[in-house]
Structure 1
Amino acid sequence: MDAPQRRRFAGWALFALAVVLFLLSLPLVIGGGYLLYLGGSPYFLLAGIAILFSAVLICRDSPWGVWLYVATVAVTFAWSLWEIAGKGWMPIWQVDLMARVGVLLALMIMALLLLPAMYRRLGRYPPASIRYLGVIVLAGFAAALGLLLLGTHTQTSGTTADVTNTSPTDTPDSTDWVAYGGTNSAQRFSPAAQITPANASQLEKAWEFNTGDEPHSDATPYAFQNTPLKVNGSIYVCTQSNQIFALDPSTGEQQWHFDPQVEREALEHVFSAACRSLAYYEASEEIDQCAHRILMGTMDGRLMALDAEEGTPCNDFGEQGTVDLYEHMDPQAPGYLSNTSGPTVVNDVVVVGHQVTDNQRRDGPSGAVRAYDAVTGERRWTWDSVWTTPDQQPDEGEVYPRGTPNVWSAISADEDLGLVYLPTGNSTNDQFGGDRQPAEDEFTSTLVAVDAQTGEVEWKFTTVIHDLWDYDLGAQPALIDYPTSDDARQAVVQATKYGQVFVFDRATGEPLSPVEERPVPQGTIEGDWTSEVQHFSPGMPSFGSLPGQPVEHLTGAHTWGATPVDHLYCRIQYQRMRYEGMFTPPTLDGGGMLQFPGILGGINWGSASFDDGRNLMIVNNNRMPSRVVLYPRDEADEMENIAPIGDQDASYIDQQAQPMRGAPVAAERGAWLSPIDMPCTAPPWGFISATDLNSGEIVWSRPLGTSVDQGPFGIPSRLKMTVGAPTSGGPVATRGGMTFIGATMDDYLRGFDSANGRMVWEQRLPAGGQATPMTYMHEGRQYVVIAAGGSFQAQTTLGDSVVAYALPE
C-alpha cells in the first residue's frame, strides 16, 4: 500500500472511530440528562458530553480529541473504582470493573493506535513525548487489567476455613437414595465415602441414559429437575412428562419404562413441566400385589402407584392404580393444578401437595394437601388453611375452599414422631392480599407440622406475614440433630427465599435459634395492607444476598451493564422504581417495585444439604433482584394474552402479564434485566457456602458458576469467568467429604471439598444441570448421578440425559 492509500485508509478509520464515538455519546447525553433529572449520578451526562466533543475533534483530525477521550476513560476507571469501593469490594469485583470500562477501553486502544496516522494526515510527525505517552498509557492499562484478572483468579478460589475432615471408619448399612432428599429427613447427605477430595479428580463418566422425552412444542416449558431414587437393584427416573424409567445402577441400562400419557394441554399450562421426585413404598404387612411401590404425582392431576419391579400399575390402589387428584378441586384448566415435587410416604400414608400456576385467578384451585392409604389409595385426610375438618370431604359436586395457600415444594416427615412438615406457599394471587381470609394469612409462607395419621395441626410458624412478595417456602424442611449448649436437639430447619434460616424443635415448634421481629417499609396499594414487622433469624447466617451478611441496600452504584448504554438503562430504571430496602411493598407507580432478594430467592427448591459428620449446612443461594410492575385492572384487561389459564388457548409463558383475576391489579414480574438480557446488578449472582452449625458462622463461601454458556441476548460468551451464576437445584454432601452440585446456568457438575470449599472436580454436562444430584453405593462402587436436561425457565441447554460418574474400576 503506497502513502496516499495509507492516508486514505487512515482517514476512513478515523472517521469510523468518530462516528462510533458520536453514536455512543448520544444515549449517554440524552439518557444521562434524564438520569440526572431523576436524581441519579451525573457521570453519564458528563461522559457523554466529553465523548461527543472527542468525536467532533477526531473527525476534524485534531489529536486533542484522542487525548480528551483518553482522559474520559481514565476518569471512568477512577469513578468505577470509587463506586465499587463504596459497595464494599464484593467478590469478583473485577468483573464489574471490566464491564464498566471494557467498551470504552477498546475504543481508546483503537484511538491511540490511530494517533500517529492523525499526525501524518496533518503533515506532522508525532513528537517523541506523544509517542511515549501513548505507549505508557497502553502499558499502564494493560498492567492494571492484568492485575485485575489475577485478582479475579484468586478471588474465585473461595474462602477457606479449618474444619475437621472426619475420615469415615465405618461401612454404612445402606446408601440407597429412597426419597427426594435421600430420606424423609431431607438432609441430602449420603453415608457413601468411597469418593473423597483426595481422589475425586479421577471421577469419570460411568454411564449415560437418554430418556427421549422432548417438549411437544415451544409452548411447553420443560425443566428436567428430577433427583432419581435408588432402591435395591434399580434407579428410578421421572421425566418432564412423568414418564418413569427403571435403570440398572451399574450400567444405566433400561429395566422397564412406564408412560402415563400426560395431556399435552396440561404440560403447556404450567410454570414448568417438571417431575422433581418419585416416592418409594415398601408394605409393612404382607399384601397381594405390589409389595414394593413407586408412587408419582402427574402434571394432569393423578396420583399413581406402580410395581417397583415390573413398572405395571398396582390395581388395588385407587381405580386401576390411579387416584384422581382433581376430585373436589375443580382444576378449571388442564395443568392449572399439577404435582411437580412428588409425594411423600410416611407410616403407610401417602401425602401429596400440588402446584397451582401463579397469579392466574383468585378463585383458582384449593391449596388442600391430601393423604391417602399407600395400599388402597383411600383418602385418609385433607389439610387446608380454611378447611377445618381433615377427616371429612366436601359433598358431591362441592369443592375445597378456592385459592388457599398450597404446598408445591417437597414435604418432609418424621416417622417416629408421626409428623409431616408442610412448607406452604401463598394464596392464588401473590402480589395482592387485600381479599385474603385471616385463616389464609395465618398459613401463608408457613411451616406447618401435621399429624401424619389425622391431618391435625400440631404447630406452625409463619415466616413472612401477609406475604406480598411470593416469598413462599420453596426449600424442603430438613430434619437434623441440631447442636445446642445443652445437647443435640431433634430439629427441623427451614430455609427461605428471603434468605433467613429458621430452626425449630421438631415436636413442639419451639425456636432453637433466636427469632426477631423487625420493622419493614409500609404503604401498599388501595385495598391491601402490610405488616409492620417481619420475622428474622439472627442466630443463623442470612442468604438473601452476600452469604452471612445483612441483605445489601441497593444503590445506583449496584447497577451494572455489559456496555455503558445498558448500564445507563438499568440506572434509569433504578431511579424510577420504588425501593426502600427489603420488603418494599408493591406499587402502582409506573416504574414498578424493585424486590431484593428477588422472587427466585435467596434459597429456593434446591434446599440445603447437611453433613452430619462435620456439622455443616451447605447451601447455594441467589443474589438476583426482581422487578414487579402492577397494572390497574382496566389497563390490564386491554393487554394482549392477559386472560387467565382456562379462559384462553395460549400457554402461561405467552402471557404479557399475569392476570391475577379477582384482584384490582395484574402483575408483570421477573428478574431485573437490561434490554440485552443481562442482569441489571453487578455479579456475583449466585454462591455456595458452608455454615458451621456449632457456631452459626459461615466457614467458607464462594461464587458458583461461570459465564461460559450465558451472554448478551442469550448468546453464549464462551468466556469461562467465574461470575457466580443464578442457580436452580441444590447440593448433596457425602461422608467422604465431598459436596456435589450442578444448578448453575452453565452446563457443569462440580465437586467441592466440604471442609474448605475447594473445587476438586468439574465435568461438562450434555445439557443444563438444573437438578439436585444424588449418590449411592452399588456392588462396591460409588456413583454420582444427575439429570442433565436443562430448564426452559433458566434458559439453559435442553436435553434428556441422566449421567452417572464414578471412580475408575
Structure 2
Amino acid sequence: MIKNKWFYFFRIVLLTIVMASITIGCETGTKKSLEHTTWSHYGGSPDQSKFFESPGITKSNVSEMEILWSYPSGDDRFYFFSPIIVDSTMYVLGKNSSLIAIHARTGEELWIHTDLPGITRRGINYWESEDKKDKRLLFTLNNSIQAINAETGKSILDFGTEGYVDLREGLDRDPTSVTRIQSMMPGVIYDDLLILGSAPGEAYFSPPGHIRAYNVVTGTLEWTFHTIPHPGEFGYDTWPKDAYKYVGGANVWSEISVDSERGIAYLPIGSPTYDYYGADRLGSNLFANSLVAVDARTGERIWHYQTVHHDLWDYDLSPAPQLLTVDKDGKKVDAVAIATKHGFVFVFDRVTGESLFPIEEKPFPKSQMPGEESWPTQPITSLPSFTRHEVTKENLNPFFSDSLRQDWLQRLDSAKTGLYVPPSDKYETLIMPGALGGANYGNTAADPYNGIMYIQTQEYASTYRLSKVEPPKTELTANDVGRVKSLYNSSCISCHGPNMEGGAGPSLKNIGHHMFYSEFRNTVVNGKGVMPGLVHVDEASLKALFQFLGGDPERRNFRRGNQEVATVDGPVVASGGVAIPSDAQRGAPMEKYPEDVERPKARYTTDYGLDWPGLIDPPWSSILAYDLNNGSIKWRRPIGVDSLYVQGDESKGAPNGTQRKGMVITSTGIVFATAKGGRVYAFDSEDGSILWETTLSNETNAQPSMFTLNGKEYLVINATSNFRSDSYDHSKKPGAIAKGYVVYGIPDKK
C-alpha cells in the first residue's frame, strides 16, 4: 500500500503526460483513459467513486480557491441537481424546472429546455456514439424515460414510443395503478444501456423495484432483474408464495455502480414494503437489503450478499457501492465495499463475492407482533462500526432543557432501544441509527487506487410505535374546510408553518396553482426527501387539502409537447419534453391483496420517527476515512454547523448534517465535502486536517462536481436550497450571491 507524497507526485506526472497527448476538453475514446478525468456521469464516473484526477489543485494551493463565477437558478424552487460536464458544456437544472446548457467557463446560456416539472431531481445521464455524431441526455420525467439532443436541447422523438418510455410497464401490476415509480437518481450508463432503479414508494402494495436496462438509442427494454423473484428464480423460496404479486419496494433508489472494464453492475437494493411490519412477507426476502452483482449487459446475477434479513427497520442499502483495489494479506484485490444506514461496512471480492473480512451471524430479539416472524440472526461484520446503536440516559443530548430531558428520561424507562430491536405496538422503540442515520445516498466516495473509502455519516435516531391500519374514513368532503385545517395542523404545520409560509419545509402558499393533483398526491402519500408519506389519508381528504392549498383536483396533467414558450428568459429551444399519458389514463393504486394469496389478519404502520435528529450527544455528523486495506478507521472529523443547540460550534457537527450532501476526492490527496449550514471543506486525505473551508450563501443539497477545461480545474456546487430553521441564514450576509450553481477554482495569476 502506497500512502505518501511520492505516489501523488508520480501520478500527477503521469496524468500530465497523458493529458498533453490529447486535445484539451475532448474525450480520448477509451473507457480507461476517460475514467476519473471527466464528470459526465452523476458521481463522476460509472463507478460512482466521486474521484477526480486533478493535478492542478494540490494541498499546497487549495487554500487559494475562490468563486470564479456562478449561475443563478432563477427562481425560489429548490434544485437537488448535480451538474454534469461534457467538453466545455455544463448541464444544470434551473428556472421553471428547465434543463439548461451553459458554457463551463463563463456560465453563458447555450440553450434552455424549459417546463420539465417531474424531471429526475438529482441528475441526468449523458451518452454519445463512438463517432460522436449522436449526443444525448437521458432522464426520467413523470414516470417516463425521455431523451434530449445534448447539442440542440430538443427532444428526440424517435426514442421509445413517440419520444418516451413508460416506466409503469412490466412491474407485475396494472400499469395504470402505478402512481410513482421513477427514481430521484438518474441511473447509470454502461455502453449503450441505461441501467435504472426506481422509487415506487414505501406503502403496502407499492410496486416492486425491479432493476431494468434500456437501450439508449431505441428505448427498448433490454433486461430486467427481478428484485422480488418470480416462480422458478433464485430466491423465490425466501418469500411467501406469489409475494411478487403484492409486495413492493426492494428497489435501488440511489446510486448504481459499474465496473466498466469487467461489465459488472453493483446494485445496492433497499427494503421491501412494508418497511416495519412484515407478516405478509415471511422469510429472509432476497434480494431486499442486498448488494447484488449482475452482468451489466444481460442482468444475470453473478453473486449477492444480504446485509439485513427480513428488514423491519428501513435499513436500505442507499449509498453507492465503492470499487477499490485493496492490499489484503500482501495481495492486490479488486474489491467492492458498501456502507450501511446502521453503521457497518461490508467488503467483498469484486468478482467472486467472497467477504474480505469475517462476518458473523449473531442472534437478536424476537418480534412479539402478531403474525410477524423476525429473522433470528443478522450479519455483523468484524470491521468497526461508524455509528452508535443505542439511545441511553447517559448519551442523551446534553443541550436539552431540564424539562425536555426529564421527558426523555421517562420515555426511556418504558421504551426499548438497541440494534435490531423489532418495532412494536406495545411500546416505543428508539432505533439508533434510524431511517436517516448512518451513511445515506451520496455519502460514500473512494480513492479507488489506495483502498480508502470516505464516508459521511450522521447519528440520527428514529422513534417507532406500530399502530393497526384502520379502514379509511369517508365522511370528509372537499368543502369541509375545518377538518382540512385539522389535518394540516396535525400533519403539516410543524414543517410548513402556521401560515403555510415554510420553515423546515418549503412554503405551500398557493402551491396548488403550480402543480397537478397527481404530483401533490404522490408527494403526500409517498413522501419526499425527509418528509414521510401520510399513507392513511383517504382520497377525499387529499382532494380537499389540495383545494385548501389553491389547487383544482380536476385539472388534468395534459403535458405540452415540444413547442417553444416564452415564460423563461434566455435561449429557449423547447418546452415540456414530449407528451406523456395524462391522469385520465390512470387507475386506482393497488389497495388489497390478490384473492389467491394468504394475508395477515391485520396490517400495522408507523411514521419514520424523524422528530429528533439531535436526540443523542454530539458529534452528530462526521466524515471519516475508512482504510479497507486493514479494516480500520484512519481518521474522523465532525462536519456541519448547527444554530439550535451549540450555536455554530463546529467541533460538534450538526444534527442531520450530511443528508443530501456529497464529496469529491482528488488524486492530489484532497477530500472536498459539503455539510449542513452551507459548509464546504477541503480535508487532507491523509489525516483529515482542514486545508480550506468556506460558507455558501445558500444551502447545498446535491453532489458536487469537478471538471477540467483548458488545463484548469473547477469545483461546482449546487447552492439552490434555503437554510433550515436550525441553521444560520447566510443568504442575508454581506456579499451573498444569488441561489445557483457556484464554481470555485484557483484564480489566474496576474
Q: Output aligned runs, 1:332-343, within 5 Å.
A: 336-343=180-187
Distance 2:611 2:200 in 1: 24
Distance 2:532 2:454 in 1: 37
Q: Tell me, yes or no, if structure 1 residue 194 matches structure 2 residue 32.
A: no
The partner residue of 1:597 within 433, 437, 443 is: 433
The partner residue of 2:140 within 294, 297, 311 is: 297
Q: Tell me, yes or no, if structure 1 residue 751 matches structure 2 residue 682.
A: yes
Taking structure 1 as reference, are residues 657 and 318 closer, same or farther at Cα in structure 2, changes over 3 Å only? closer
Distance 1:735 1:401 in 2: 47
User: Hey, what does 1:805 align to over in structure 2?
Assistant: 744
Taking structure 1 as reference, are residues 432 and 331 closer, same or farther at Cα in structure 2, changes over 3 Å only? farther
User: Hey, what does 2:251 align to over in structure 1?
Assistant: 406
Deviation, 1:331, is 6.4
Residues 328 and 400 of structure 1 are in contact (CA less than 8 Å); yes or no, is this contact kept in structure 2?
Answer: no
Q: Tell me, yes or no, if structure 1 residue 711 matches structure 2 residue 644.
A: yes
TM-score, scaled relative to structure 1: 0.68
Deviation, 1:586, is 0.3
Residues 475 and 607 of structure 1 are in contact (CA less than 8 Å); yes or no, is this contact kept in structure 2?
Answer: yes
Residues 242 and 275 of structure 1 are in contact (CA less than 8 Å); yes or no, is this contact kept in structure 2?
Answer: no
Residues 210 and 801 of structure 1 are in contact (CA less than 8 Å); yes or no, is this contact kept in structure 2?
Answer: yes
The partner residue of 1:735 within 667, 674, 680 is: 667
Deviation, 1:179, is 1.4
Identity fraction in percent: 30
Distance 2:669 2:533 in 1: 47
Q: Output aligned runs, 1:360-759, within 5 Å.
A: 360=203, 362-386=204-228, 388=230, 403-436=248-281, 438=283, 441-538=285-382, 540-545=383-388, 551=389, 553-560=390-397, 561-579=399-417, 581-590=418-427, 592-612=428-448, 614-634=450-470, 649=521, 651-652=524-525, 658-659=535-536, 664-673=603-612, 679-707=614-642, 710-711=643-644, 719-725=648-654, 726=656, 727-728=658-659, 729-742=661-674, 744-759=675-690
Residues 238 and 276 of structure 1 are in contact (CA less than 8 Å); yes or no, is this contact kept in structure 2?
Answer: no
Residues 306 and 321 of structure 1 are in contact (CA less than 8 Å); yes or no, is this contact kept in structure 2?
Answer: no
User: Hey, what does 2:573 align to over in structure 1?
Assistant: none
Distance 2:668 2:232 in 1: 44
Distance 1:282 1:719 in 2: 46
Deviation, 1:274, is 6.2
Letter in 1 for 2:156: C
Distance 2:621 2:72 in 1: 29
Residues 73 and 720 of structure 2 are in contact (CA less than 8 Å); yes or no, is this contact kept in structure 1?
Answer: no
Q: Deviations over 1:214-244 (max 9, x none)?
A: 44xxxxxx5x332211121111224698632
* Structure 2 unaligned regions, length at least 5: 20-33, 234-243, 475-485, 492-516, 538-590, 593-601, 732-737
Taking structure 1 as reference, are residues 302 and 437 closer, same or farther at Cα in structure 2, changes over 3 Å only? farther
Taking structure 1 as reference, are residues 279 and 509 closer, same or farther at Cα in structure 2, changes over 3 Å only? same
Letter in 1 for 2:342: Y
The partner residue of 1:233 within 80, 88, 100 is: 88
User: Hey, what does 1:778 align to over in structure 2?
Assistant: 709
More divergent stretch after superposition (233-242 vs 417-426): 233-242
User: Hey, what does 2:721 align to over in structure 1?
Assistant: 790
Residues 606 and 730 of structure 1 are in contact (CA less than 8 Å); yes or no, is this contact kept in structure 2?
Answer: yes
Task: Give the match's secondary structure for 1:567.
Answer: helix
Distance 1:616 1:410 in 2: 19
Distance 2:177 2:679 in 1: 37
Task: Give the match's secondary structure for 1:558.
Answer: coil
Residues 228 and 286 of structure 2 are in contact (CA less than 8 Å); yes or no, is this contact kept in structure 1?
Answer: no
Distance 1:313 1:694 in 2: 47
Deviation, 1:281, is 1.1
Distance 2:406 2:66 in 1: 46
Residues 390 and 454 of structure 1 are in contact (CA less than 8 Å); yes or no, is this contact kept in structure 2?
Answer: no
Taking structure 1 as reference, are residues 341 and 656 closer, same or farther at Cα in structure 2, changes over 3 Å only? closer
User: Hey, what does 2:113 align to over in structure 1?
Assistant: 258
Distance 1:689 1:576 in 2: 34
Deviation, 1:400, is 7.5
Letter in 1 for 2:49: Q
Deviation, 1:472, is 0.6
TM-score, scaled relative to structure 2: 0.73
Distance 2:289 2:96 in 1: 28
The partner residue of 2:121 within 264, 269, 275 is: 275
The partner residue of 1:310 within 152, 166, 178 is: 152
Letter in 2 for 1:176: T
Distance 1:791 1:509 in 2: 42
Task: Give the match's secondary structure for 1:575.
Answer: helix
Distance 1:291 1:336 in 2: 31
Q: Deviations over 1:359-389 (max 9, x none)?
A: x2x2222212211111111111222234549
Residues 473 and 496 of structure 1 are in contact (CA less than 8 Å); yes or no, is this contact kept in structure 2?
Answer: yes
Deviation, 1:200, is 1.5
Distance 2:424 2:229 in 1: 32
Deviation, 1:739, is 0.7
User: Hey, what does 2:566 align to over in structure 1?
Assistant: none
Deviation, 1:658, is 4.2
User: Hey, what does 2:239 align to over in structure 1?
Assistant: none
Deviation, 1:603, is 0.7
Aligned-pair RMSD on alpha carbons?
A: 3.2
* Structure 1 unaligned regions, length at least 5: 1-161, 216-221, 264-272, 392-398, 546-550
- For the pair shown, which has the larger CA radius of gyration, 1 or 2? 1
Residues 324 and 449 of structure 2 are in contact (CA less than 8 Å); yes or no, is this contact kept in structure 1?
Answer: no
Taking structure 1 as reference, are residues 342 and 239 closer, same or farther at Cα in structure 2, changes over 3 Å only? farther
Deviation, 1:180, is 1.5
Deviation, 1:630, is 1.3
Distance 1:655 1:366 in 2: 19
Task: Give the match's secondary structure for 1:634.
Answer: coil
More divergent stretch after superposition (691-700 vs 346-355): 691-700
Q: Output aligned runs, 1:2-151, within 5 Å.
A: none
The answer to which structure has the higher helix fraction is 1
Distance 2:312 2:705 in 1: 34
Distance 1:485 1:241 in 2: 55
Deviation, 1:414, is 2.0
Letter in 2 for 1:632: K
Distance 2:467 2:706 in 1: 47
Deviation, 1:720, is 4.5
Distance 2:616 2:336 in 1: 34
Q: Deviations over 1:624-683 (max 9, x none)?
A: 11111211223997995899x98995824687854497661121223352xxxx722111
User: Hey, what does 2:568 align to over in structure 1?
Assistant: none
Q: Deviations over 1:401-458 (max 9, x none)?
A: 65241111111112332222211112231111111265x8011111112222322212
Distance 1:800 1:335 in 2: 32
Distance 1:240 1:531 in 2: 49
Letter in 2 for 1:321: G
The partner residue of 2:99 within 244, 251, 257 is: 244
Letter in 2 for 1:559: L
User: Hey, what does 1:14 align to over in structure 2?
Assistant: none
Q: Deviations over 1:591-628 (max 9, x none)?
A: x2100112112111023221245442221111111111
Distance 1:463 1:533 in 2: 11
Taking structure 1 as reference, are residues 258 and 718 closer, same or farther at Cα in structure 2, changes over 3 Å only? farther
Taking structure 1 as reference, are residues 274 and 767 closer, same or farther at Cα in structure 2, changes over 3 Å only? farther
Distance 1:180 1:517 in 2: 35
User: Hey, what does 2:692 align to over in structure 1?
Assistant: 761
Deviation, 1:486, is 4.3
Taking structure 1 as reference, are residues 657 and 630 closer, same or farther at Cα in structure 2, changes over 3 Å only? farther
Deviation, 1:718, is 5.4
